[in-house]
Amino acid sequence: MISQRLVVILLLCTFLYAAIPDADNNYRIGVGSYDMTGPAAEVGMMGYAMVGQRTHGIHFRLRARAFVIADRKSDADRIVYVNTDTCMTTQAVKLTVADRIQKKYPDTLGKYYNNDNIAISATHSHAGVGGYAWYTMYDMTTFGFEKANFEVVVDGIIAAIKQAHDNLSQGGRILLNQGKLGNDSNINRSPTAYLRNPADERARYEDGNTDKIMTNLRFEDQDGFELGMLNWFPVHGTSMTNTNKFISGDNKGFASYVVERKKDAQLKRAKGRFIAAFGQTNEGDVSPNTRGPSCPDGITPCAEDSTCQGKTQLCTAKGPGKDEFDSTKIIGEKQAVAAMKLYDDVAGSIVLSGPVRHRHTFVNMSSTLVKPEYTSTGKIGTTCRAAMGYSFAAGTTDGPGDFNFKQGMNKTGNPFWDYISSFVAKPTEEQKACQAPKPILLDVGQTEPLPWVPDVLPIQMFSIGSLAILSLPAELTTMSGRRVKEVIHKTLVKNNPTQFSAEKAKVVIAGLSNAYSGYVTTFEEYTAQRYEGASTMYGPHTLAAYTQEMDKLAFAIANNQAVPAGPAPLNLTDRVWSFNPGVVVDTHPSGKPFGSIHVDVDTTKTYKTGEAVTAEFWSAHPKNHLMTEQTFSSVERRTGDGPNDFEVVVTDHEWDTTFKWTRVWIAQSTATITWKIGETIEIQPGMYRIRHFGVSKDLFGTRTPFVGSSSEFKVVA
Ligand SMILES: *[C@@H]1O[C@H](CO)[C@@H](O)[C@H](O)[C@H]1NC(C)=O
Ligand SMILES: *[C@@H]1O[C@H](CO)[C@@H](O)[C@H](O)[C@H]1NC(C)=O
Ligand SMILES: *[C@@H]1O[C@H](CO)[C@@H](O)[C@H](O)[C@H]1NC(C)=O
Ligand SMILES: *[C@@H]1O[C@H](CO)[C@@H](O)[C@H](O)[C@H]1NC(C)=O
Ligand SMILES: *[C@@H]1O[C@H](CO)[C@@H](O)[C@H](O)[C@H]1NC(C)=O
């Protein structure tokens, strides 16, 4: 009896000790995470627009991380924010996620989440898989739509939302903290364009030509149980270069990996993984390649016009590391360390309180009139039908184009883009005038029968107490982001100082959200017509138009008013095209079945931490099965004498292995699995083996799983 009472009292004490104060217990919170890794071989990658950059394996898997936040007092007021390890969110993905949630789960998820209160943002990893857009412009370098990738992206997002919804807490608190990273964490890749912004405006920002500020949210349930974090910092996902062919979450994916592993190890709990999402914000002109651009000699700088000996291909920016993997780690680690510091600093954080609201509208960006108070000319402006300028084809110093275009130029004479542009109508005089001073390479808003890019785009605002999250379907440059945030902050504080007090109101931009429409520069940066200006599709007043329309949402949120839905975007589900063949058949050499060893590990050697060990297997096409939430590779340690006495130490989900797929002969292939021992995962000495999992396909289309194993090898710590 007594001992039972003691236990109850003790439990109560623990509860009282851990529970968060009631005044802070304002929200119900749910977190979820799901694998969204696309086909690991022979599919075009998304980001650099390099035709030959097609996947050939996995470095680490891509994930969707979801956060549901509901007002504890009014449960129907809720939002879900999903951060995805993709290059951008396409309109196809967003509209399909919202549509399928309604159809698949009409009585559960469908009741709570729809197009208006789901935000899907992207980390902007350039090492993910492409072909998931409805619009031709974004499927061009992947030779069309890749249904398998589209499906795994959509499914992964829905599964993450479902987990977050099913795990919604009864209460909880959200802590917001902000801090700065050092000058070695990001760099402006178009500094000459930035310099066109007015001097007095530039002088107001002590961070210089990129934002250094990081915003972090910490989520806990009513018992103080740590659920996860969501974080924003501007830097491109271009630490992995345009010659990489491994699927990777790039620097933000690595930051998530580091924090999630660290927290899970620290919290040691049986259930409830810690979810850490590193979101993207105004990264348009922001590069992780902090050593800056230089010519092949590694010394001659080339920031000015981004060419060496007249060639763009030769001027590339280098990351801080010894190679692209190392650079990814360094830039990811900086974000992870800064985020953990903000996360742990509970005393220095703001506790969010106040209603959860969301507003969403569609805007026709081809024809938006902009009031003088938003334009930089002081006169009425208008957006234009979409067009790409010449510098778009030049690429950037993070990934120069294949061809000899210079940024800021209007010369032609390039076979690939001349060929592509021959499909597109010649721009009218009116269009030229509207887009000026942009020299038009591709007049993509005028194509028949379907536009190559969307003209109806979503903008969306969430508020959680005094925090406003602006979801924009584009990449805003540093100064563009600052301008939008400033306008929105003013409107919120002016219209509702109770919820948005001048000190507590915080505004963050969720970049690359809900659809994709290229870049957004300031009016002044646009005149430089570097890559970002050339990719500001709707003309010089693009930023002003987005700001004006977002300001309407801010006014509506502050005054709790409704907003119009706006024009309906196109649904191109049945209009996509593809030139990509599927897998016909897998074969293997006679006597070497799928999964058998091609090149074994060295069994005579003793391996040590810091070394790499490799095994090569006869394999089949990874497109046959994506191994979602499973793995193509594993490293396993022997735990006993039985044939199955092994524990899994590393899989595709971790940093320390690479799985590389190679086509050998018409239908034969190998898988090379390399383990960098102890690189991020400390290991125990012992006997290890490497295994490979796959699925083969025969001529009749029958798919058969197979497993292969290397010989055992010895590892000392
Ligand atoms: C788009 O069209 C497809 C088929 O034509 C339909 O199944 C789907 O529900 C539509 N999606 C949206 C978001 O309306
Ligand atoms: C970072 O760069 C800015 C602009 O160049 C400079 O003003 C500032 O002092 C630098 N900060 C540090 C910590 O080096
Ligand atoms: C709750 O989250 C955990 C991961 O933290 C997940 O494994 C589980 O499936 C989720 N529960 C539900 C009901 O979705
Ligand atoms: C958007 O504006 C353009 C230019 O005025 C117009 O041609 C197009 O039909 C509009 N799109 C929608 C969906 O209203
Ligand atoms: C191209 O640039 C040159 C000088 O840089 C300029 O004189 C010319 O008018 C431009 N042409 C177009 C079509 O913009």
Full 3-state SS string of 310-357: CEHHHCEEECCCCCHHHHHHHHHHHHHHHHHHHHHCCCCCEECCCCEE
Could you give the CA distance from residue 71 to residue 117 in angstroms, rounded to a whole number?
13
pLDDT of residue 641: 96
Residue 100: which residues within 8 A CB-CB, separation 6 or more? Answer: 154, 158
Query: pLDDT class for 639, splitting at 50, 70, 90?
Result: very high
Residue 248 tokens, joined = 């990777």
**Could you write out the DSSP letters of every residue in 214-235?**
EEEEEEEETT--EEEEEEE---
Asked whether residue 426 carries a pLDDT value surpassing 90, the answer given is no
Could you give the CA distance from residue 11 to residue 14 in angstroms, rounded to a whole number?
5
Distance from the CA of 288 to the center of ligand 2, in angstroms?
Answer: 16
| Average pLDDT of the residues in 211-230 | 97
Cis amide bond preceding 427, omega within 30: no
Asked whether residue 683 carries a pLDDT value surpassing 90, the answer given is yes
Q: List, in sequence order, every residue forming a beta bridge with 125; answer none if it has no partner.
A: 237
Residue 657 has phi, psi (to 5 degrees) of: -115, 155
Closest Cα to atom 7 of ligand 1? 573
Closest Cα to atom 10 of ligand 5? 410
Distance from the CA of 520 to the center of ligand 1, in angstroms?
Answer: 29
Distance from the CA of 135 to the center of ligand 4, in angstroms?
Answer: 16
Distance from the CA of 150 to the center of ligand 1, in angstroms?
Answer: 14
Asked whether residue 4 carries a pLDDT value surpassing 80, the answer given is no
Could you give the CA distance from residue 447 to residue 453 in angstroms, rounded to a whole number?
9
Taking only the tens place, the pLDDT of each residue in 241-263 is 999 999 999 999 999 999 999 99
Neighbour-count burial of 646, counting CB atoms closer than 10 A to its CB (0-12 exposed, 13-18 middle, 19+ buried): buried
HEC assignment per residue over 507-559: EEEECCCCCCCEEECCHHHHCCCCHHHHCECCCCCHHHHHHHHHHHHHHHHHC
Residue type, 330: I
Q: Which of 180, 183, 186, 194 to mutate to test the pocket of ligand 2 (most atoms within 8 A of CB)?
A: 183
Distance from the CA of 571 to the center of ligand 1, in angstroms?
Answer: 6
What residues line ligand 1, using a CB cutoff of 6 Å?
95, 99, 571, 573-574
Query: pLDDT class for 15, splitting at 50, 70, 90?
Result: very low
pLDDT of residue 584: 84
Residue 305 tokens, joined = 């016009």
Contact (Cβ atoms closer than 8 angstroms) between residue 478 and residue 284: yes
Residue 368 has phi, psi (to 5 degrees) of: -105, 125
| Average pLDDT of the residues in 531-559 | 97
Report the atom number in ligand 2 closest to the C-alpha of 209.
Answer: 4
Asked whether residue 501 carries a pLDDT value surpassing 50, the answer given is yes
Residue 705 tokens, joined = 């799983």
Taking only the tens place, the pLDDT of each residue in 315-342 is 999 999 999 999 999 999 999 999 999 9
Ligand with smallest separation from the Cα of 570:
4
Neighbour-count burial of 621, counting CB atoms closer than 10 A to its CB (0-12 exposed, 13-18 middle, 19+ buried): buried
Asked whether residue 470 carries a pLDDT value surpassing 90, the answer given is yes
Asked whether residue 405 carries a pLDDT value surpassing 90, the answer given is no
Alpha carbon 677 to chain centroid, angstroms: 28
Taking only the tens place, the pLDDT of each residue in 20-71 is 999 999 999 999 999 999 999 999 999 998 888 999 999 999 999 999 999 9
Asked whether residue 611 carries a pLDDT value surpassing 80, the answer given is yes
Asked whether residue 574 carries a pLDDT value surpassing 70, the answer given is yes
The pairing of beta strand 456-464 with beta strand 356-364: antiparallel
Could you give the CA distance from residue 257 to residue 229 in angstroms, rounded to a whole number?
13
Ligand 4 site, residue 571, Cβ cutoff 6 A = no
Per DSSP, the chain holds a count of helices (H) and strands (E) of 15, 38
Residue located via tokens 């010519």: 295
Q: E strands of 592-685, at which residues?
A: 597-599, 606-608, 612-619, 633-638, 646-651, 657-665, 668-676
Report the atom number in ligand 1 closest to the C-alpha of 99.
Answer: 13
Report the atom number in ligand 3 closest to the C-alpha of 32.
Answer: 2
Any known ligand binding at 283? no
Could you give the CA distance from residue 163 to residue 629 in angstroms, rounded to a whole number?
14
Alpha carbon 689 to chain centroid, angstroms: 33
Asked whether residue 7 carries a pLDDT value surpassing 70, the answer given is no
Alpha carbon 234 to chain centroid, angstroms: 12
Could you give the CA distance from residue 375 to residue 369 in angstroms, rounded to a whole number?
10
Query: pLDDT class for 423, splitting at 50, 70, 90?
Result: confident
Closest CA relative to residue 109, chosen from 74, 146, 68: 68
Query: pLDDT class for 1, splitting at 50, 70, 90?
Result: very low
Mean pLDDT is lowest, of 1-15, 203-217, 343-357, for 1-15
pLDDT of residue 71: 97
Asked whether residue 12 carries a pLDDT value surpassing 70, the answer given is no
Residue 42: which residues within 8 A CB-CB, separation 6 or more? Answer: 54, 55, 56, 621, 623, 663
Taking only the tens place, the pLDDT of each residue in 70-81 is 999 998 899 999
pTM of the model: 0.94
Closest CA relative to residue 188, chosen from 214, 208, 215, 213: 208
pLDDT of residue 51: 84
Could you give the CA distance from residue 571 to residue 594 in angstroms, rounded to a whole number?
42
| Average pLDDT of the residues in 578-605 | 93
Ligand with smallest separation from the Cα of 202:
2
Could you give the CA distance from residue 128 to residue 247 in angstroms, rounded to a whole number?
5
Q: Which residues are catalytic?
A: 287
Any known ligand binding at 541? no
The number of beta carbons lying within 10 Å of the beta carbon of residue 318 is: 16
Ligand 5 site, residue 410, Cβ cutoff 6 A = yes
Distance from the CA of 568 to the center of ligand 1, in angstroms?
Answer: 13
Residue located via tokens 């599919």: 43
Taking only the tens place, the pLDDT of each residue in 475-494 is 999 999 999 999 999 999 99
Query: pLDDT class for 403, splitting at 50, 70, 90?
Result: low
pLDDT of residue 271: 83
Could you give the CA distance from residue 445 to residue 608 in angstroms, rounded to a whole number?
57
pLDDT of residue 49: 85
Query: pLDDT class for 303, splitting at 50, 70, 90?
Result: confident
Asked whether residue 444 carries a pLDDT value surpassing 60, the answer given is yes
Residue 512 tokens, joined = 């690359």
Residue 346 has phi, psi (to 5 degrees) of: -65, -40
| Average pLDDT of the residues in 100-118 | 97
Asked whether residue 644 carries a pLDDT value surpassing 90, the answer given is yes
Residue 218: C-alpha distances to residues 31, 276, 339 (Å): 12, 9, 10
Asked whether residue 9 carries a pLDDT value surpassing 80, the answer given is no
| Average pLDDT of the residues in 630-647 | 97
What residues line ligand 2, using a CB cutoff of 6 Å?
182-183, 208
Distance from the CA of 653 to the center of ligand 1, in angstroms?
Answer: 33
CA-CA-CA-CA dihedral for 534, 535, 538, 544, to nearest 10: -90
**Percent of the chain clearing pLDDT 70 (strictly above):** 95
Q: Which of 406, 410, 435, 527 to mutate to test the pocket of ligand 5 (most atoms within 8 A of CB)?
A: 410
Could you give the CA distance from residue 662 to residue 709 in angstroms, rounded to a whole number?
18
Asked whether residue 457 carries a pLDDT value surpassing 50, the answer given is yes
Report the atom number in ligand 1 closest to the C-alpha of 98.
Answer: 13
Ligand with smallest separation from the Cα of 167:
3
pLDDT of residue 50: 85
Ligand with smallest separation from the Cα of 569:
4
Any known ligand binding at 475? yes
Report the atom number in ligand 4 closest to the C-alpha of 568.
Answer: 13
Closest Cα to atom 10 of ligand 1? 571
Could you give the CA distance from residue 655 to residue 424 in angstroms, rounded to a whole number?
43
Residue 550 has phi, psi (to 5 degrees) of: -65, -35
Ligand 5 site, residue 293, Cβ cutoff 6 A = no
Q: N- to C-terminal Cα distance for the chain? A: 51
Report the atom number in ligand 1 closest to the C-alpha of 95.
Answer: 13
- In the chain the domains, ranked by start, together with CATH numbers, are 26-364+454-574 (no CATH), 597-716 (2.60.40.2300)
Alpha carbon 636 to chain centroid, angstroms: 31
3-state secondary structure of 256: helix
Residue 707 has phi, psi (to 5 degrees) of: -135, 140
pLDDT of residue 450: 84
Write out the H or E segment, with its range, that includes residue 112.
helix 109-112
Average pLDDT, the chain: 94
Closest Cα to atom 4 of ligand 2? 208
pLDDT of residue 310: 82
